Amino acid sequence: ETGVTQTPRHLVMGMTNKKSLKCEQHLGHNAMYWYKQSAKKPLELMFVYSLEERVENNSVPSRFSPECPNSSHLFLHLHTLQPEDSALYLCASSQGRSVLNEQFFGPGTRLTVL
Amino acid sequence: DQQVKQNSPSLSVQEGRISILNCDYTNSMFDYFLWYKKYPAEGPTFLISISSIKDKNEDGRFTVFLNKSAKHLSLHIVPSQPGDSAVYFCAATWYSGGGADGLTFGKGTHLIIQP
């Protein structure tokens, strides 16, 4: 595997379910990100991890819980979601957090909350 | 209120012609701008960037122009090729303090290259 991979690619869940999204980067990067893209809205940054520590949390509801066990893996744990949380969730990684360091994106997980 | 605006949701251009994608921003703090390209079922990929100390940056068929006084940037693709059909996102940040965390994205423009 190369680049940034995300699993699952599609997920349908009920509002009472608990699920997790997984991201893995094979680029040796030390920063990882979760983004949300809702229909007809811009890409929104949710969380940033640098050297496995969370450094940004953009007022994301607590029903989204990130976890970064090591520099290659990033999870987004989901519980008691709402239908408006249906969106494309994208993971990205970069070597350092400077804007000059390109962010590499995964293909995303298309989440539908019923 | 959206700080980065891409007012054209879609754009159709004939193969071989020039494609011009536009982006406007409202935050005067922004001093670094990026364009990303996204194919269906794939993540966005970085295309080209420009710092506010320049007004033009060129990379092969892709050129980004920045007009700071108008708070406007544009991406020119010439000649346009079928493989350029994708969604293009404009993003902005302030290099001096924002870092990559501070990327603000537009909604994207779907470019369709017609044969």
A9 with A19: CB under 8 angstroms?
Answer: no
Chain B: nearest CA to A101, how far in angstroms?
8
Spacing of C-alpha B10 from chain mean position: 13
B88: closest CA among B34, B24, B30?
B34
pLDDT of residue B96: 64
Yes or no, beta carbons of B100 and A41 under 8 Å apart: no
Predicted pLDDT at A55 = 75
A90 contact B CB<8A:
yes
Pairing of strands A10-13, A109-113: parallel
Query: pLDDT per position in chain A (114 positions), as tens?
Result: 579 999 999 999 998 889 999 999 999 999 999 999 998 889 998 998 987 777 766 689 999 999 999 999 999 999 999 999 999 999 999 998 777 788 999 999 999 999
Query: Each residue of B14-70: pLDDT tens digit?
Result: 999 999 999 999 999 899 999 999 999 899 999 999 999 999 999 999 999 999 999
**Interface touch A102/B93, C-beta < 8 Å:** no
**What is the spatial distance between Cα A45 and Cα A33, in angstroms, rounded to a whole number?**
7
Q: What is the pLDDT of residues B71-96, one digit of tens each?
A: 999 999 999 999 999 999 999 988 76
As a residue count, chain A comes to 114
Are B99 and A108 within 8 A, CB to CB? no
Pairing state between β B62-67 and B72-77: antiparallel
Cβ distance B4 to A94 less than 8 Å, yes or no, reads no
Q: Is the pLDDT confidence value at B101 over 70?
A: no
